Chains A and B, each alone.
Chain A
Amino acid sequence: NAGVTQTPKFQVLKTGQSMTLQCAQDMNHNSMYWYRQDPGMGLRLIYYSASEGTTDKGEVPNGYNVSRLNKREFSLRLESAAPSQTSVYFCASSEGTGPYEQYFGPGTRLTVT
């Protein structure tokens, strides 16, 4: 049981480049989330998927797109990376939205130069 996995672990992009962060969970969870974490800012929700086939914006969605590929996989795409998107990105999953604990992946450290 790997839990929540993320790829890549580290990435350096130049401004304007695009990339996709991948996330997968093997806990048969319905809901999945993408967060970014910056020093002093805490975890900020970018997008979430309450169930397969649905996605919703979180607190900071601008500059990002998501795809819930199937029940296991939820990807985050940066179409044109900006230095302001330098951050650590965490994927999480839970049984459902609402009063359920979330389980986090190991994170992706992204630097945009």
Chain B
Amino acid sequence: QKEVEQNSGPLSVPEGAIASLNCTYSDRVSQSFFWYRQYSGKSPELIMSIYSNGDKEDGRFTAQLNKASQYVSLLIRDSQPSDSATYLCAVNIPPGNTPLVFGKGTRLSVIA
């Protein structure tokens, strides 16, 4: 069973704080991991990809991958009200030529 699990939230953080979003997945040999942001009424938008253990930073976003523990995280520094959205985690779970498996998403609310 291919699974990608996320806490549905809502996760509420004050403006300027760090928001931490977590995702666990079922297969230890997964190789590719993606974070999408989805505003209400809009389509998912790719914001980060990560393939190797460790951290990957892009502006205020940091993706963290720990393959041994089978989790991937997204940190949002200096959270802004405009970051309020649902964040979807997607994982390539083997066999390698099958579509990405998406989590159900975590709803983030940044309070001004």
- Interfacial residues, chain A to chain B (CB-CB below 8 A): 31, 33, 40-43, 45, 48, 50, 58, 90, 96-107
Contact = CB atoms under 8 A, between A and B. Distances in A.
A102 B45 contact: no
B102 interface: yes
Interface string B24-50: 000000011010000000111110010
Residue of A33, A97, A105, A107 ringed by the most chain B CB atoms within 10 A: A97
- Counting from the closest, the 4 A-B pairs by CB-CB distance are A42-B104, A99-B32, A104-B43, A99-B92
Interface residues of B, number: 23
Interface stretch (B15-23, B56-64, B69-77, B93-101): B93-101
Interface of B: 8, 31-32, 34, 42-46, 49, 51, 88, 90, 92, 96-100, 102-105
Main secondary structure of the interface of B (DSSP, over half): loop
Contact of A107 (B32, B43, B88): B43
Main secondary structure of the interface of A (DSSP, over half): loop
Contact of A99 (B8, B31, B46, B105): B31
Contacts of B8: 40
B104 A40 contact: yes
Contacts of B45: 104
A92 to B, nearest CB: 8
Contacts of A103: 46
Given A90-B43, A102-B100, 7 more contacts: A42-B105, A48-B99, A58-B99, A97-B99, A99-B96, A101-B49, A102-B99
